[in-house]
Every structure is written in C-alpha cells, then in structure tokens.
Amino acid sequence: MTRPARLALKAFVWFVCLAPLALLAYRAWTDDLGANPISFITNTLGDWTLRILLASLAMTPLRIVFGLSWPIALRRLLGLFAFAYVCLHFAVWSVLDFFFDWPRMWADIVKRPYITMGMLALLSLLPLAATSTAGMIRRLGARNWTRLHRLAYVAAVCAVVHYLWLAKVGVKEPYWYAVALVVLLGVRGWEWSRRMTRRRRARAETTTPRVGSRAENPLS
Amino acid sequence: MLIRHAPRFTASEITDPNLYLSRRELISRAAALALAPSLSSAATPATPALQALSATRNAAFSLSETPTKFEAATTYNNFYEFGVNKDDPSRLGHTLRPRPWTVQVDGFVNKPKTFDIDELIRLFPLEERVYSLRCVEAWSMVIPWIGFPLASLLKRVEPTGQAKFVEFTTLLDPNQFPAQKPGFFGFSSLDWPYVEGLRLDEATHPLTLLTVGMYGKVLPNQNGAPVRVVIPWKYGFKSAKSIVRIRLVSEQPRTAWEKAAPQEYGFYSNVNPAVSHPRWSQADERRIGEFRRRPTLPFNGYADQVASLYAGMDLKKHY
C-alpha cells in the first residue's frame, strides 16, 4: 500500500472516531440530549468505546481471513481511540454522574459486578495505551510487548460482560456485541490451532525417520 | 325424502374477520391520508394535540415541587409494549388507539361490570394530584396526574370476602403494541400481556390513583392512555398502563416483571433506599431536570401515609 493511501486510511479512521464526539457536542450545544442528558452521554460514550475496541480487534482477523495487510496499520490508532472513549466514559460517570463522590463510587466498583467489569476493562487498557509508542516496543522487546498487549482480549471480554450485566431484560444490543467478540476471538482461535498443528507436523517431520519413504523404496 | 344440498360455501371460504377489518382500516387510513396530507408521519409531533381535562387540585395529596417538564415526561418513558428504549413509546405510541376502550372489573366482586372509558371518566369527580414518580432505574419525575382514587371504583363493584388482591392487565394487541410481536427466534422482552398487582389494602389506599390524565390533558399514549394506575410509593413499573381489566383475586398475582426477573423485581417493590436492586444502588436518584443526585426517601417520601401497611413485615425479604 502506498504512503498516501495509508494516510488517507488513517485520516478516515480519525474522522469516523471523532464524528460521534462531534455529534455529541453538537447535540449538547443545541440542547438535544433528551430528558436525561447525563445518562445519554454516558451510554453514547460507552457504546462507542465498545464499537471502536471491537473494531481494533477486528483488524487481525481481517488479515487472517482475507490476507489483507493494511488493517494492521490501523490497530494502534483504533486502540488509542477506544482508550480515549473509555476515559471520557469514566470521566462522565465520576464527574457528571457522581460528582466526585469517591466513597460512593468505590462502593459501587466493589459491590456491583457490572461496574467491577467496567473498571477491569479500563484498567487493562491503561498499560496498552502507555506502551503504544515505538520506543516502548523497543524497550520492552517485541516478545514481551506482544504478550502484554494480549490484555486487549481481557479488556474486550470485560467490556462486553460489563454491558451484558448492566442491560435490563429485553435489551438485545449487548448480545450482538458478544456475538461479534466471539466471532473475532474464534477467528484467532482457529488460526492459532492451525498454526499449532502445522508446527507439530513440521517438528514431527524433522525429528522422526520417514517410515513411509522407506517403504516406498525398499531397496535403499 | 331427504334432499341434500351441497353447502353454499365452506368454512374456509369465509373471510377471516381480522382480514376484512384490517382492509377496512387500510382504506380509512388511506382516505385520511389523502384528506390530510400535512399529517404525514414525518410531520406528526411526538405528542399529538391532546384533549384538555379539567380537574380540581387536591392540595393535601400534592407535592409543592415544580413538575417535570411535559416534554421530558412524554419523551422519556418505559413502556415495553412499544420497545425497551426510552424514546420508543413517544416515537411509536401513535399505533395505540385509546378509543373505543373498555375496562372490565370482575373477579371476587358482587357487581362485576365492564365500563366504557368515557363512562369511567365521568363516574367520579376528577382530582389533580402532584406525585413524585420513582423509577426502579434510579431516576424520578414530578407529575401532575388527573384521576380518582381506585378505592372509589372498587367500592362500587363491591369486593367479596374472598378478594385479597387486585390484578391489573394491560391491553394485549400486537397491532397496537408493536413490541408484543415476537422478534428474532421468538424473542420477547416480557411475557405478554403485562400483569401487575396490589394487595387489596394497597389498592384501596387513598393515594392509589386510577389515572386518566396528566398536565391538564388526557393521558398521552406513551404514558398509558387511556387509563392507568399510579401508586406513588412503589417503583414506577408497578403502575400498570393502558389497563383493560381489573380483577379481584384471592391469590397474589404473578406479575410480568416477577416472571421475567424475580430476584430483581419483587411483588411489593416499595421504594426503599435500604434495599439495593441486585445490580445497582437505590440509595439515591436523579430527578429528571436536575444535575446532582438526591437521596431516595423510604416509600418515595410517602412513609407517613403508607408505612403502617407493612407493619411487622421484613421489607428486605418482601422487596
């Protein structure tokens, strides 16, 4: 992929990820946030956190299934946007919703499983955002860095469970996110098991004598 | 000699009445559309013009707080028959037809009767009462309701000694309530029709209001037209909307929410800051239109009037 094409792609991601914020700001400006604005803002930011987080986790499966390489270039950008949205989501909860009532919020984090899950998702994204620079990759070493960034899976699972557990009876959206996550993790699982069998087969071929080939050639 | 005639038509040839009725409806709607092109769906406001309803303010039963904005009270609703989102009832409420409407009052009563809604509205003097409404989802509103005590109606039908509970049933009609149609894989949010219930002493408490209007007008569809009940010391979902039947029974009714999630929504569901919903705290609430949360009061502030109904009961167990 050419450099201008990659830039255009990134610009597109910036636009798509910032558009919901711009729309939210516009609706706030025109007093169009509904009867319960704080709840509306919190829910909108939560929705977009989840969407962008799942989009970032969809990049590797796109490469696996369709053999595309450009999605990988967008992974970090999407991940950082997901982190930005979850920070805003948390800020609205702690400032607008509970107005710095830390004891009350702490009680909810400990006592309400869906809030515990939400906090876990936020906390697991924190080290990922902190180590997102090229310098940090170098400092950690590619192997450690890759291992650390598997926390993205933990974050996504916690985020989806957070939504499943907070939604009331009859709300279907969290199930769609759960299905999407299962598909995305399923593609990775499938790829992983394929790689494992290939590796096992390769090892078997190099270490054991080929019984079959000898049988084919009884005179050797 | 017996002469057998072949039947002039078979049962299968008879048009299903639902079919020709819906055809009639289609024609009349098409006609209405042709006559009033300005009333296309895009131009229909969230709440169409509502008929005014006059009532005398009952000051003794009214809060002195400023009511929530009408706009908020009619666009932020939980009415699962239209969908689970807060804006579904106001967006989709136009499918409900609150006239003609009847309310069947029966069960363990000496004088069972089916009331026409317009008869019901004229049966007793209408009062306006400003109540606070506390939703189980930790938000609240202040609403000027119009209605009369349910006790008046119950007295008229004369409950017998066997009547211990009152069961309310909401209209079951997927043509008027779109969310009553089963969705994907037969998925449905609740087991329709919506059923709610009260103990007889709760139902006859003077605060329990059979409600036909709000804000000086008849009830908008999204708020439970044409008749609902309002029980201000209980979470909002106890206050059944669009009621077609009020039945006096001897056993505690199984309510729609008890069936859906018994560990979360008990039969009593009195507003109680000391008993959390399993998933969130009920200690405080956001009054719609206000910024800071405010503490939730026991029995939603009506403890003086109703706490005695539950004397000796463990309200943590009977949540």
Q: Do B240 and B196 touch, CB atoms closer than 8 A?
A: yes
Please check whether residue A69 touches B, CB under 8 A.
Answer: no
Nearest-by-Cβ selection for A114 from B137, B279, B289: B279
User: Cβ B289–A35 below 8 Å, yes or no?
Assistant: yes
Please check whether residue A164 touches B, CB under 8 A.
Answer: no
Rounded mean pLDDT of chain B? 88
Q: Nearest-CA residue of chain A relative to B69?
A: A35
DSSP line for chain B: -PPPPPPSS-GGGSPPHHHHHHHHHHHHHHHHHHH-GGG-GGG--SS----B---EE-GGG---SPPPPHHHHTTS--BTTTBSSTTHHHHHGGG---SS-EEEEEESBSS-EEEEHHHHHHHS--EEEEEEEE-TTSEEEEEEEEEEEHHHHHHHH-B-TT--EEEEEE---TTTSGGGS--GGG--SS-SSPEEEEEHHHHTSTT-EEEEEETTEEPPGGGTSS-EEE-TTB-GGGS--SEEEEEEESS----HHHHH-TTTS-SS-B--TTS-BTTB--SEEEETT-SS-EEPPGGGGTHHHHGGGGTT--TTT--
User: Cβ A169–B190 below 8 Å, yes or no?
Assistant: yes
DSSP three-state, residue A190: helix
Nearest-by-Cβ selection for A35 from B72, B137, B189: B72
Please check whether residue B178 touches A, CB under 8 A.
Answer: no
Distance of residue A64 Cα from the nearest chain B Cα, in angstroms: 31
Q: Is B2's pLDDT higher than 80?
A: no
Report residue A53 CA to chain centroid gap: 4
User: Cβ A108–B87 below 8 Å, yes or no?
Assistant: no
User: Cβ B84–A38 below 8 Å, yes or no?
Assistant: no
Q: For residue range B168-179, list pLDDT tens digits in order.
A: 999 999 999 999
Tell me what the mean pLDDT of segment B33-59 comes to: 66
Q: Nearest-CA residue of chain B relative to A169?
A: B189
Question: Up-side HSE of residue B107: CA atoms within 13 Å toward CB?
Answer: 23
Q: For residue range A7-36, list pLDDT tens digits in order.
A: 999 999 999 999 999 999 999 999 999 999
Q: Nearest-CA residue of chain B relative to A167?
A: B279
**Does residue B191 or residue B6 have the better pLDDT?**
B191
pLDDT of residue B47: 66
Give the dihedral sign, CA B201/B202/B203/B209. Answer: positive
Distance of residue A96 Cα from the nearest chain B Cα, in angstroms: 8
Q: For residue range B14-39, list pLDDT tens digits in order.
A: 555 455 445 445 445 444 444 444 44
Nearest-by-Cβ selection for A170 from B76, B84, B289: B84
Nearest-by-Cβ selection for A170 from B190, B280, B291: B190
Residues 264-303 of B with CB under 8 A from A: 276, 279-281, 286, 288-289, 291-293
H or E segment to which residue A172 belongs: none
Which span out of A63-72, A207-216, B267-276 was modeled with the highest average pLDDT?
B267-276
pTM, entire model: 0.83
Q: Is A47's pLDDT higher than 50?
A: yes
Q: Is A40's pLDDT higher than 80?
A: yes
Taking the C-alpha atoms of residue B42 and residue B242, their distance in angstroms, rounded to an integer, is 25
Tell me what the mean pLDDT of segment B183-197 comes to: 86
Q: For residue range A138-169, list pLDDT tens digits in order.
A: 999 989 999 999 999 999 999 999 999 999 88
Nearest-by-Cβ selection for B75 from A35, A96, A171: A35
Distance of residue B68 Cα from the nearest chain A Cα, in angstroms: 10
Distance of residue A177 Cα from the nearest chain B Cα, in angstroms: 16
Nearest-by-Cβ selection for A99 from B84, B288, B292: B292
Percent of chain A with pLDDT over 90: 80
Tell me what the mean pLDDT of segment A195-201 comes to: 91
Q: Taking the CA atoms of chain B, what radius of gyration do you get in angstroms? A: 22
Taking the C-alpha atoms of residue A143 and residue B64, their distance in angstroms, rounded to an integer, is 67
User: Cβ B84–A35 below 8 Å, yes or no?
Assistant: no
Q: For residue range B55-104, list pLDDT tens digits in order.
A: 999 999 999 999 999 999 999 999 999 999 999 999 999 999 999 999 99
pLDDT of residue A125: 96
User: Cβ B86–A113 below 8 Å, yes or no?
Assistant: no
User: Cβ A34–B187 below 8 Å, yes or no?
Assistant: no
pLDDT of residue B11: 52
Q: In chain B, what residues touch A165 (CB-CB under 8 Å)?
A: 279
Q: For residue range A51-103, list pLDDT tens digits in order.
A: 999 999 999 999 999 999 889 889 999 999 999 999 999 999 999 999 999 99
Phi/psi-derived region of residue B292, left when phi > 0, alpha when psi is between -120 and 50, beta in every other case: beta
Phi/psi-derived region of residue B138, left when phi > 0, alpha when psi is between -120 and 50, beta in every other case: left
Q: Which two tokens stand for residue A95?
A: 């400032």
pLDDT of residue A169: 84
Q: For A168, which DSSP code?
A: P
Please check whether residue A168 touches B, CB under 8 A.
Answer: yes
Q: Do B173 and B180 touch, CB atoms closer than 8 A?
A: yes
Taking the C-alpha atoms of residue A151 and residue A112, their distance in angstroms, rounded to an integer, is 22
Rounded mean pLDDT of chain A? 91
Report the range of poorest mean pLDDT among B134-148, B184-198, B247-261. Answer: B184-198
Please check whether residue B165 touches A, CB under 8 A.
Answer: no
Q: Is B150's pLDDT higher than 70?
A: yes
Domain boundaries, chain A: 3-201
Tell me what the mean pLDDT of segment B300-305 comes to: 96
